[in-house]
Amino acid sequence: MQSSDLNLILSKLKNSEENITEFDESWSQGRSAFGGVAAAFAVTAMQKLLESNQPMRSLMVSFIAPVPPGEVYVDANIQRRGKNVTQTQANVICENVLCLQAMAAFGNAREALHVPASENFNATPKELGIKFEDHAKRVPGFLRFFEGAWVDGGFPFAGKLNRELKMWVRHRTNLIDFPAERLITICDIPPPVILSHFQKPPVPSSSLTWSLEFVIPPEEIATEWFYLDFVVEAAENGYTQQSGRVYDENGRLCALSRQCMVYFG
């Protein structure tokens, strides 16, 4: 039976010897699953290959084809297992079609030089923002699974280009058993920042590639809320490049994101 409960979806994949799970259309945006969930499928399968609880350090994703609702199969393997770092690869396959490829690096902590993250956290309180449900007609349906607010005016379809998009987000469900997947799905919520330029949906858009680097191991993040600060670096010929910083609610930098995206508007 297809499910909308992310805990159940990921648990089924984690416990499946064949690396199979399924999800329903509530996680879709257009023809495909929300990219953060599709990437989470790959990560769950790759983590099953680890011999120890190595923290995830980086993730690279290529979105190749739509991931339709229904059954999902993940083919994961070890690329190299070193003394401290394990590198893995995964293919997300639906109906015998390769839909997503991912590579991840997992690494043990070591004694090394400590350079603290730069202090750029100056977040507008979420209580002063626009709640997701108050902007519901202009955002994907999968946002129902998250609680959040757009802050500082850079939300999609504002009718005025804003180079920045800032938001507060947390899951409505408890993903305590899936800390990496919890953070990955949060990090992929921001749409193309340039959608603020447009007044009316729909403007079809999607990610081509995504790179995510973890400053803090996901297992060490205790807070529920995350603050996302994203900026469009450039846009030309239907493609746009954007980067983002993801903080926990205490202002600790958790992850760095970079995406190449396409849009049709």
Helix crossing, 6-15 with 179-187: angle to 10°?
130
- Domain regions of the chain by residue span: 1-108, 126-265
Residue 238: CB atoms within 10 A of its CB come to 11
Q: Between residues 162 and 182, which one has the greater pLDDT? A: 182
pTM summary value: 0.94
Tens of pLDDT, residues 204-263: 888 999 999 999 999 999 999 999 999 999 999 999 999 999 999 999 999 999 999 998
Domains 1-108 and 126-265 share a fold: yes
Fold of 126-265: Thiol Ester Dehydrase; Chain A (3.10.129)
Average pLDDT over residues 120-126: 89
The pLDDT assigned to 137 comes to: 63
Contact 121, 227 (CB under 8 A): yes
Confidence of residue 29 (pLDDT cuts 50, 70, 90): confident
Percent above pLDDT 90 for the chain: 78
Question: Residues 6 or more apart from 88 whose CB is under 8 A from it?
Answer: 46, 49, 76, 77, 78, 79, 103, 104, 105, 106
Please report, for the chain, how many H helices and E strands are present, in that order. Answer: 3, 14
Fold of 1-108: Thiol Ester Dehydrase; Chain A (3.10.129)
pLDDT at 4 over 70: yes
The tokens for 62 are 């290529």
Contact 199, 157 (CB under 8 A): yes
Comparing 37-46, 58-67, 186-195, the range with the smallest average pLDDT is: 186-195
Q: Which residues pair with 93 in a beta bridge?
A: 73, 98
The pLDDT assigned to 66 comes to: 95
pLDDT at 134 over 60: yes
